[in-house]
Amino acid sequence: MKKILLATAASTLIASASYADEIKLGLMLGFSGPAESLAPDMAGGVRAAVKEISDSGKFLGGTTVALVEGDSTCTDAAVASSVAERMITSDGISGLIGALCSGATGAALTNVAVPNGMVMFSPSATSPSLTTIEDNGLFFRASPSDARQGQVMAESLLEKGVKSVAVTYTNNDYGKGLADAFESSYTEMGGTVTINTSHEDGKADYSAEVGALASAGGDVLVVVGYLDQGGPGIIRAALDTGAFDRFHLPDAMVGSSIEDRFGTEIEGATGQVPGSDSPGGEMLVAIGEANGYNGTAPYAPESYDAGALMLLAMQAAGSSDPQVYKDFVMGVANAPGEEIFPGELEKALDILAAGGEIDYVGGTAAELIEPGEAAGSYREIEVKDGKIVTVGYR
């Protein structure tokens, strides 16, 4: 009995001793589920940022950072919540990065993170509903809300002189959220949405859907769909029946498979994807190579930024207590201060340790707006000679 007590006491001592110079960070992404192909490179981004800071030896006076990883899945609220619960209560993390999908993020946030007072930072959740969620200032995201994309889309179409559009969206949270955000911005700015209707993914034939869209009319067809799902089917049916010949493509519809399928058939189609002309994105290529992941994969730069911002906020606060450092996240992300690019985290730690200010730019030109989400810059594209080319940033 004495021995056990002694051992317990000793191990507690060791545990508390190691606590002093090591903090734990939770990383939960949808490693399985409908977005699983994105997760490995995103995890790579977070690991790279954490490693850079931990290895510098300058984080909170030489504290190292260990990652605890977990699979939150994409849509299973119960799994996401229990993974977050385990990380907070038994692993004792100081901050939680994740989740990948909006569904898992919302569930873990309201069920676990907020009740436990844990800061949660998602690299990729874009649902507009997360903007208004009750989060006690604990939730941040490195990706813009789709409400912002809807607004960007509306502005860009109106500037091109497009006054009436038909909208079709893939029948899920992403599609409906973005389509509704777009419709409200567009009509507010004076445009007309002739029809806003859903389509189901995975059908062979979309002529009926296109028939309804054609009846409603409009100068441009906005296809809020998925690149490898129903989106191309809609475009194909619209081209075949001569219903529409101009298209606008949001983020999930822009990719090389659209070029391969349609080429010059959709000449002049416009669209936008999250992206910036910041040099930070280029710098992540080398960082990715050194750490064995693709630094420019979708949401990999956002992941790097999420990891870096969370740790830099702790450094600025001088504490890894979520209740303390949550108020410093916006400060390190935004001006004023010295601009920090990827790979310069050590410099940032030095500045913060000396009481200076930084303006984290990172891989995505990160700019956080209230209530803690990326302002969102988008790369505008156009199909010219059958190729997707960048025509500007917004």
Partner 1 sequence: MDILNALVAFANFVLVPGTAYGAQLALGALGVTLIYGILRFSNFAHGDTMAFGTMFVVLITAAMKSVGISFGPLPTALLALPFAILCTMALVLITDRTVYRFYRKVKAAPVMLVIVSMGVMFVMNGAVRMIVGTDDRRFADGERFVITARDFKTMTGLSEGLAIRTTQVITVVTAILVVAALFWFLNKTRTGKSMRAYSDNEDLALLSGINPERVVTITWLIVAALATIAGTLYGLDKSFKPFIYMQLLLPIFASAIVGGLGSPLGAIAGGFVIAFSEVTLTYAFKKVVTYLGPDGWAPDGLVQLLSTDYKFAVSFAILIIVLLFKPTGLFKGKSV
Of 11 and 264, CB closest to partner 1: 264
- In whole angstroms, the minimum distance from the beta carbon of 32 to partner 1 comes to 17
- In whole angstroms, the minimum distance from the beta carbon of 385 to partner 1 comes to 20
Strand order in the sheet with 164-170: 192-199, 164-170, 220-224, 247-249, 270-274, 378-384, 387-393
The count of residues interacting with partner 1 (CB under 8 A) is: 26
Query: Which of the ranges 134-142, 202-210, 247-255, 382-390 carries the binding residues for partner 1, by CB under 8 A?
Result: 202-210
- 209 touching partner 1, by CB under 8 A: yes
From the list 240, 260, 282, 321, which residue makes contact with partner 1 (rule: CB under 8 A)? 240
Give the DSSP letter of residue 221.
E
- 391 touching partner 1, by CB under 8 A: no
Q: How far apart are CA 354 and CA 70, in angstroms?
A: 35
- 207 touching partner 1, by CB under 8 A: yes
Query: Which of the ranges 101-109, 157-165, 179-187, 236-244 carries the binding residues for partner 1, by CB under 8 A?
Result: 236-244
Torsion angles phi and psi, residue 131, rounded to 5: -70, -40
- 215 touching partner 1, by CB under 8 A: yes
CA distances from 151 to 55, 148, 154, 161 (A): 41, 5, 5, 16
Of 197 and 323, CB closest to partner 1: 197
- 214 touching partner 1, by CB under 8 A: yes
- 212 touching partner 1, by CB under 8 A: yes
- In whole angstroms, the minimum distance from the beta carbon of 212 to partner 1 comes to 4
H-run or E-run covering 311: helix 300-317
CB 125 within 8 Å of CB 72:
no
Torsion of CA 43, 48, 53, 54, to 10 degrees: 80
From the list 8, 189, 203, 286, which residue makes contact with partner 1 (rule: CB under 8 A)? 203
Residues 166-185 that bind partner 1 (CB under 8 A): 171
From the list 161, 190, 242, 336, which residue makes contact with partner 1 (rule: CB under 8 A)? 242
Angle, helices 207-216/230-240, rounded to nearest 10 degrees: 60
- 277 touching partner 1, by CB under 8 A: no
- 233 touching partner 1, by CB under 8 A: yes
Of 35 and 349, CB closest to partner 1: 35
Q: How far apart are CA 100 and CA 110, in angstroms?
A: 16
CA nearest to 156, candidates 272, 268, 277: 272
- 195 touching partner 1, by CB under 8 A: yes
Residues 6+ apart with CB under 8 A from 6: none
Torsion angles phi and psi, residue 9, rounded to 5: -60, -45
Beta strands in the chain (DSSP E): 22-29, 64-71, 95-98, 120-122, 139-141, 164-170, 192-199, 220-224, 247-249, 270-274, 338-340, 358-360, 368-369, 373-374, 378-384, 387-393
Residues 150-169 that bind partner 1 (CB under 8 A): none
- 77 touching partner 1, by CB under 8 A: no
- Whether the link from the prior residue into 336 is cis, omega within 30° of 0, is yes
From the list 9, 14, 208, 290, which residue makes contact with partner 1 (rule: CB under 8 A)? 208
Query: Which of the ranges 156-164, 183-191, 195-203, 338-346 carries the binding residues for partner 1, by CB under 8 A?
Result: 195-203
- 22 touching partner 1, by CB under 8 A: no
Q: What is the SS3 assignment for 240? A: helix
Residues in contact with partner 1 by the rule CB under 8 A: 171, 195, 197-200, 202-205, 207-212, 214-217, 228, 233, 240-243
